[in-house]
Amino acid sequence: MINNPKRIVISRTDSIGDVALTLPIAGILKEKYPDAQIIFLGNTYTKPIIKCCLSVDEVWEWAELQKMEDRQRLKWLKSQNIDVFIHVFPRRELARLAKKAKIKHRIGTSHRLYHLLTCNHRPNFTRKNSDLHEAQLNTKLLTPFGINKYYSLNELSVISNFTKLPSLSENFKILLNTDKKNLIFHCKSQGSALEWGVDNFINLAKSLNQADFNIFFTGTEKESEFFRNKLPKQNNIIDLSGKMNLDQLIAFISKSDLLLACSTGPLHIAGLSDIKTIGLFTPKKPLHFGRWQPLGRQVKILEEEKISERHQPLDINLRVVKQEVENLFQ
């Protein structure tokens, strides 16, 4: 068993949602080892998410390591005096690097053949056929620390410590109307999830009472091509797509009243920010909400009644979604 580590690296070099559901690991380790330095290795574009976690002491960017020559990278990693390296997202190159750097404890799932040669702690569990949530599955990698507890989603939401939120700049702050409820519709997913369809989001926005709701459409500049020209000319419908970096999007979400989206990064940000969050999901495994719903105490899931055909929008009735939005503010 691993005892009293001083410096621990958590490696998750994939997308925003995956990173958000890995933050509880940092909280659990910080609770058990309050004097340990918790380092998170992630992609550059997920750094703003990681920085929001109070339990993370340092953030490393995978892209910066990739820029180094092999010998330089190895020398640098050795100089960091790491005690434990946790491969949450398996990456062969990093597994080999951690072993070459002679990091004492290297943790990786037993379901990667190369971990047989590169990791000396290999918890045996499967993600593919498990009924556990992704955040719960991540905690299985903590068994070498003697951490075997079953964590509820509520416990994982709290221990994520998503509290170091960036401040919102004035030009976005003035858009939030204190006399109305401020809703965010994030209608695209960059291909990471089954979507509800742009037209459904637009029709929902048009159907909500203009006197009660401000509605902001968010997304990347590229995603805006799918909906910008379709948005109705209403004072309460505002296009913010392509206008925010991730820091400002996090801040804006945290100051809003509700976010509606399919299974994508901003949905996880909203859940962890403790605002009202409605996630639209398919029951199809492994994409279902049981595996991927956002953490958070104000999360509501709406699931299609039958699995929609491939490349078709999620089959969730617009009236049902509208009723759920309105009910949350009654």
**Residue spans per domain, the chain:** 7-159, 171-327
Q: C-alpha angle 34/35/40, rounded to 5°?
A: 80
Whole-number average pLDDT of the chain = 96
Q: How many other CB atoms are found less than 10 A from the CB of residue 325? A: 22
* Residues of the chain above pLDDT 70, percent: 100
Q: Give the pLDDT band of residue 192 (cuts 50, 70, 90).
A: confident
Whether the domain at 7-159 and the domain at 171-327 fall into the same CATH topology? yes
Closest CA to 239 of 257, 254, 226: 226
Residue 187 phi, psi dihedral angles, 5° rounding: -90, -10
Cβ atoms of 165 and 30 closer than 8 Å: no
Q: What is the mean pLDDT of residues 194-221?
A: 96
β-partners of residue 238 are 216
- pLDDT of residue 139 exceeding 80: yes
Fold of 7-159: Rossmann fold (3.40.50)
Question: Is the pTM for the entire model greater than 0.85?
Answer: yes
How far does Cα 9 stand from its chain's mean position? Answer: 18
Q: C-alpha angle 152/158/163, rounded to 5°?
A: 155
Q: What is the mean pLDDT of residues 55-82?
A: 97
Q: What is the mean pLDDT of residues 117-144?
A: 94
Which residue bears the tokens 């029951």?
283
Residue type, 230: K
**Which tokens sit at 51?**
């920085």
Q: Give the pLDDT band of residue 127 (cuts 50, 70, 90).
A: confident
Q: What is the mean pLDDT of residues 76-92?
A: 98
Q: C-alpha angle 12/17/20, rounded to 5°?
A: 65
Cβ atoms of 154 and 268 closer than 8 Å: no
Q: How big, in percent rounded to 5, are the helix, strand and coil portions of the chain?
A: 40, 15, 45
Distances (CA, A) of 199 to 40, 183, 188, 207, 318: 38, 17, 11, 12, 10
**Which tokens sit at 101?**
């750097």
Looking at per-residue pLDDT, the higher value among 60 and 307 belongs to 60
Peptide bond before residue 166 is cis, with ω within 30 degrees of 0: no
Which residue bears the tokens 């703003």?
48
Q: Give the pLDDT band of residue 262 (cuts 50, 70, 90).
A: very high
Number of helices and strands in the chain (H, E)? 16, 11
Which CATH number applies to 171-327: 3.40.50.2000, 3.20.20.80, 3.50.50.60, 3.40.50.11260? 3.40.50.2000
β-partners of residue 217 are 185, 239
- pLDDT of residue 325 exceeding 80: yes
